[in-house]
Amino acid sequence: HLYEESKKAEELYRSLIHSSADAIVIYDIEGKARYVSPAFTRIFGWSMEEVQGKRIPFVPESEREGTMAIIRELVDHGTPCHGFETKRHTKDGRTLDVSISASRYEDHEGKPAGILVILRDISERKKLEAQFYEAQKMESVGTLAGGVAHDFNNLLMAIQGNVSLLLLDTPSRDPGFKRLRNIEKQVQRGAYLTRQLLGFARGGKYEIKLTDINKIVQRSADLFSRMKKEIKIHSTFEPDIWMVEADQGQMEQVLMNLYVNAGHAMPNGGDLFITTENVVLSGDEGALLHLKQGRHVKISVADTGVGMDSGIIPKIFDPFFTTHQVGTGLGLASAYGIVKNHGGSITVKSARGKGSTFEIYLPAAEKEATPSRPRTDTDSEMAPGGETVLLADDEGMVIEVGREMLQRLGYTVLTAMTGREAIETYRAHKALIDLVILDMIMPDMTGMETYDRLKKEDPNIIVLLSSGYSIDGQASEILRQGCNGFIQKPFTMAALSRKVREVLGKTNGQG
């Protein structure tokens, strides 16, 4: 009867161990396996027959020391361990992240007889944690980059404004004229750098238009091939490509950054394959790319360059990470930020000596395109005016040059340095003011609040937004609310003059 009881108890314990979802190993005191559970075989690959009476060869070199210390503590002093995170190999050569709990068990005389080890595969959790930290890191560096770019753009604005005003008074044969033009060129280079930073910081998508991606790809590829004659470009376009809603300037920036990256990988020339296609993602495919299922436009950019080691691939979208001697390391980071900001995804496949392929997925637009009017402006064309403008900005330097630029263009200018002041000035001179140029970032209230309050004062108010950035997409939100236009600092006098005319609806007598 006693025998029956103990047999039943043994079967119960065996079935409990057998049914565990975590892997269970029972070792003797020498560290040789006496039993492995079915879950162990499923997770690590070795069967009971292969390891019974042997040591299991699954501790990586890097983990040996830590593991041995825990085992010694356990065997000598009986100290159990809980949730010890380490790594273990599988039979087929993969390495898994595992969490281990272990305890010593005694024989019927109360002497240590062996160790019971429970292993849980935590690879998936580790992967999710890594993704989460990565996202947080990108987020915080993005916020920093956006803030730097915003302040930097205000500085550039002051320099650009003063140069624009000096150029007005300097005849082109004057020796100083060329120097001023040079300064202007450097301001534009500075502005390009801050655009890269803002792209990474996922600053605003400013001018969202229904876009035929084929045209953008074609235009940027043509430009690149003029710069890099030694690279042969092969493009394959989906003839009826779906439209996407995109900021065309930013999308060109993304593509140029990818082409330039490919150029670095092929210093002695090579082939660049660019394709576009319509794809419909299933739920699972979408989940892998962190996208919703449904219609997307896919752009692939593949090169025949040197390729990348697997160690580099996870870092390539990090800001300031670069494997080249030249460049800022911002190109791919800004491409990543812009694509994410458009609700899309960017991935890379690469191997050393095999070239690299970047794939961009953008959600297809729901609505159909309306043809847009071609832009015919040249850079230096001035469009004067005579209306009254309220200029609201919290930077004294920007107010100073902005006022003078507008006055030189023929406008009467009122100024305000806070949101509150802007509202009071507008209230006092409502009948006179034809246009408000509003900076997005004000010390006392956000651009959004200021805009809303102005709109309450006068539903027909005409507002031109101006900003060094729009980190939280506020600009696009205000534009959606019916704001009349957006101008990115730093701007030239010519650009300001055209934008003001366009917003006032009297450009070239149209409106």
Q: What is the pLDDT confidence band of residue 190, given thresholds at 50, 70 and 90?
A: confident
Q: Pick left, alpha or beta for residue 462 (phi over 0 → left; psi -120 to 50 → alpha; otherwise beta).
A: beta
Cα–Cα distance measured from residue 374 to residue 467, given in angstroms and rounded to the nearest whole number: 25
Q: What is the pLDDT confidence band of residue 371, given thresholds at 50, 70 and 90?
A: very low
- Compare 323 and 90 and report the one with higher pLDDT: 90
Q: What is the pLDDT confidence band of residue 88, given thresholds at 50, 70 and 90?
A: very high
- Compare 203 and 441 and report the one with higher pLDDT: 441
Q: What is the pLDDT confidence band of residue 154, given thresholds at 50, 70 and 90?
A: confident
Q: What is the DSSP letter of 364?
A: B
Q: Examine the pLDDT at 291 and tell me if it is beyond 50.
A: yes
How do residues 164-181 score in pLDDT, each as one tens digit?
999 989 999 999 999 999
Q: Examine the pLDDT at 102 and tell me if it is beyond 70.
A: yes
Selected from 3.40.50.300, 3.40.50.2300, 1.10.3720.10, 3.40.50.920, the CATH number assigned to the domain covering 127-207+377-511 reads 3.40.50.2300
Q: What is the pLDDT confidence band of residue 195, given thresholds at 50, 70 and 90?
A: confident
Joined tokens for residue 487: 């101008």
Instruction: Find the range with the poorest average confidence among 247-256, 276-285, 335-344, 376-385.
Output: 376-385
Inter-residue long-range contacts of 104-107, CB under 8 Å, 24+ positions, other chains counted: 104/74, 104/75, 104/78, 104/80
Joined tokens for residue 227: 């710069």
Q: Examine the pLDDT at 228 and tell me if it is beyond 90.
A: no
CATH classification code of 213-368? 3.30.565.10
Other beta carbons within 10 angstroms of residue 93's beta carbon come to 7
Distances (CA, A) of 33 to 14, 40, 111, 142, 160: 16, 12, 18, 51, 75
How do residues 17-32 score in pLDDT, each as one tens digit?
888 899 999 999 988 9
Residue type at position 411:
Y
Q: What is the pLDDT confidence band of residue 368, given thresholds at 50, 70 and 90?
A: low
**Cβ neighbours of residue 313 under 8 Å, at least 6 residues apart?**
348, 350
Mean pLDDT, the chain, rounded, equals 85
Range picked from 205-214, 283-292, 355-364 for highest mean pLDDT: 355-364
Cα–Cα distance measured from residue 360 to residue 346, given in angstroms and rounded to the nearest whole number: 4
| SS3 annotation, 444-497 | CCCHHHHHHHHHHHCCCCCEEEEECCCCCCHHHHHHHCCCCEEEECCCCHHHHH
- Please tell me the predicted confidence (pLDDT) of residue 138: 67
Mean pLDDT across 261-267: 87
**What DSSP string runs through 162-226?**
HHHHHHHHS-TTSHHHHHHHHHHHHHHHHHHHHHHHHHHTT----SEEEE-HHHHHHHHHHHHHH
Beta-ladder partners of 359: 300, 347
- Please tell me the predicted confidence (pLDDT) of residue 389: 96
Other beta carbons within 10 angstroms of residue 462's beta carbon come to 19
Pick from 231, 218, 290, 295: which is nearest to 262 by CA?
A: 231
Q: What is the DSSP letter of 309?
A: -
Q: Examine the pLDDT at 289 and tell me if it is beyond 50.
A: yes
Mean pLDDT across 47-68: 92
How do residues 325-352 score in pLDDT, each as one tens digit?
445 566 788 788 889 888 899 999 888 8
Q: What is the pLDDT confidence band of residue 129, given thresholds at 50, 70 and 90?
A: confident
Coil, strand or helix at 16: helix
Distances (CA, A) of 328 to 149, 150, 197, 226, 252: 14, 18, 10, 22, 18
Each domain of the chain, given as residue ranges in start order, spans 20-121, 127-207+377-511, 213-368
- 239 preceded by cis ω (within 30°)? no
Cα–Cα distance measured from residue 41 to residue 20, given in angstroms and rounded to the nearest whole number: 12
Other beta carbons within 10 angstroms of residue 169's beta carbon come to 8
Q: What is the pLDDT confidence band of residue 510, given thresholds at 50, 70 and 90?
A: very low
Selected from 3.30.43.10, 3.30.450.20, 3.40.50.10800, 3.20.10.10, the CATH number assigned to the domain covering 20-121 reads 3.30.450.20
Mean pLDDT across 189-195: 79
- Compare 505 and 71 and report the one with higher pLDDT: 71
Cα–Cα distance measured from residue 162 to residue 401, given in angstroms and rounded to the nearest whole number: 6
Q: What is the pLDDT confidence band of residue 205, given thresholds at 50, 70 and 90?
A: low
Other beta carbons within 10 angstroms of residue 126's beta carbon come to 16
Cα–Cα distance measured from residue 259 to residue 445, given in angstroms and rounded to the nearest whole number: 41
Cα–Cα distance measured from residue 96 to residue 411, given in angstroms and rounded to the nearest whole number: 69
pTM (2 d.p.): 0.54
Beta-ladder partners of 196: none
Q: Do domains 20-121 and 127-207+377-511 have the same CATH topology?
A: no
The percentage of residues in the chain with a pLDDT greater than 90, rounded to a whole number, is: 45
With 0-12 / 13-18 / 19 or more C-beta atoms within 10 angstroms meaning exposed / middle / buried, residue 324 is middle
Please say whether the beta carbons of 420 and 444 come within 8 A.
yes
- Please tell me the predicted confidence (pLDDT) of residue 240: 92
